[in-house]
Structure 1
Amino acid sequence: MTATDPPPGSEARTAVDDGWTVERLRLAAEAAQVGTFAGDLLTGALDWSPRCRAIFGVGADVVITRADFEALVHPDDAERVAEAVRRVRGPEEPGAYALEFRIVRPDGETRWVESRGRVVYGEVEGARRPLRFLGAVVDITERKRFQEELTEALAVKEALLEEVNHRVKNSLQLVTSLCSLQAGHAVDAGVKRILAEASRRIGVIAAVHERLYASRRHDRVDAADLLGGLATDTVRALGDPERIGFSFDGPPRPATLAIDRAVPTALIVNEMLINALKYAYPPPRTGTVRLVLADDGGGALRITVADDGVGLPEGYDPAESTGIGMRIVAALARQLGATLDVADAAPGARFTLALPPA
């Protein structure tokens, strides 16, 4: 016995090891309910495992040909499957595919399967040619049914949320109309003003739900679309276009607000705009109110309302303001975990709300 000779019994042990490997693979395939198949691409002969035959509903004694397989593929998926098989057999192709398609079993039942296959290449007459086709197939009908049910349930949920936003918007608009009607009949000027301001604030909340309804999204809203649109509406309704202009600069990249932050943020911006429209430009002064949104890319959002008007009163402190508007702004900023910076802009004033990432 030389040093290169295999030790006694090594060939037998190798055969046993190979047998155990094959047995382990067979048991794994059975446990996973995976069917396997092999095809000779030179002769066209096919060999399907018992599980593969069970998936396709084919008896153990039935001889399977390529034409038989093609006949089992659902007509609506036949061309897609045939194209995948043609493509995978090309000499320049990687020789592998993964595909989901429907089959129609001999008993008429339609099932979904997922199939993965690989071509084994070899040299024939000096050229690289596909020789064998090996693969596995799994019945995924129940998974597909679950996905369809989940998709349907999500569609129902979306429809319900859309209806909720629509109804909330309509209800808030009704409340707004009632407040406006009551304000019109109020004799006391102070009561009339309070009702009008309450109507306007409720209208802002209604507008948020209206935009959610229109966008068909119920979890987040585009910050530029929401705040820019509301600001434009506010300036148009309460401003003086002959004296006061308005400009809006959105963020360079899309920025969104979660729905639970959209309403308080919109109310804050609305109050800051009204504050500028009411106090920054006493007649006959003219100027421009600017709304600027800046996104740092990490989820933080900075919202600035600036004017070039008369500026802030000396010693102005928003925390000590007696006006209901600034008290609302301060309370909502705390609720959002945001910071509010108020500064002279020389000329004018600048209010900046810094929203941290959600």
Structure 2
Amino acid sequence: MLISELILRTFTQNIFIAMGCSEYHADLAADVLIKSDLRGIDSHGVARLSGYVRLWEKGRINTKPNIQIIHETATTATVDGDAGLGLIVAPVAMDIAIKKASEYGSGWVSVRNSNHFGIAGYHALMAVKRHMIGFAMTNASPLVAPTFSNERLLGTNPMCYAFPAGQYPPVVIDMATSAAANGKLEIAQRSGKQVPEGWIQDGQGNYTTDPHALKSGGSLLPLGSDREHGSHKGFGLSATVDILSGVLSGANYGPWVPPFVSFLEPPANPPGLGLGHFLGAMRVDGFRPIEEFTADMDNWISRFKSATTNDPTQKVIIPGEPELEAERDRMANGIPLVDSVYQELNELAVKFGVTKL
């Protein structure tokens, strides 16, 4: 089923307003979710809306947060999100990073006491719009076991790096540090499909293709899946995200990160506040003229796009290209929703008394 971007955006805004968000915050939160759907990242778009509602109903999301800087230098800051929607807290924090970068060349902001912030690419691209390099990362629900373990200690912990170009679109490297994002399991669950081997292990550490395995004690695997295929590198990347997002900011980290998934409850005696993000912006002209950099970025992109491939029917895909193609298509033709998500959204409409899709 295809729904127009405008209809889906208005619907999402109305749900957030019904939850108690201001109109400005509702517009911002909806923009993050709709951008995810437009870019083809269905796992982090409106399919997540019921999850935010569930956390709000449990008192874990504050829809009227007092987001404030609690520690600051010229180029750095720590922001307390006051348990607000990460969809709102992270853009506010990134705006602080961009303002610092505008004045001093770079800006770095750690965030505590926040919630799930949607796709990392949304926040990193805020810097690109200002001709800066953007960074965004967050820790997440503890669903991933470190290499050699079957204990869930880390999140999918995504990271994004976004680089402006000239004639070409920006290069956007937006990825989970696990073998797969949990949202992809949710998509498989809704579609009644199995997942590839190497994404999940059961409670005993055996590979499984059952997308429901996490609910029975299983865990996601780090990027690389096992030691022989480099899972220690995925573990290291995930640890980096967790330390910068959680330990540095005073948020929770590791197994204490408050979960977004419904089958986990927040652990007792958390060491920090909420979950954490880490965002950054760097002015390109702090290193060289922006025109020179973007010309070389275009040359870099052009050379990689022209690379010889093993299969002549294939081509090298520049990071961010598939998402841009999806956005163009979906803006023109609508955003696809699977039946289960469509039904779930209309149930929210009934709950909050807003117009159905």
TM bracket, shorter-chain basis: under 0.3
Q: Give the TM-score taking structure 2 as reference length.
A: 0.21
More strand by share: 1
Structure number with larger C-alpha Rg? 1
* Structure showing the higher helix proportion among its residues: 1
Ranked by relative contact order (alpha carbons within 8 Å, sequence separation 6 or more), the top structure is 2
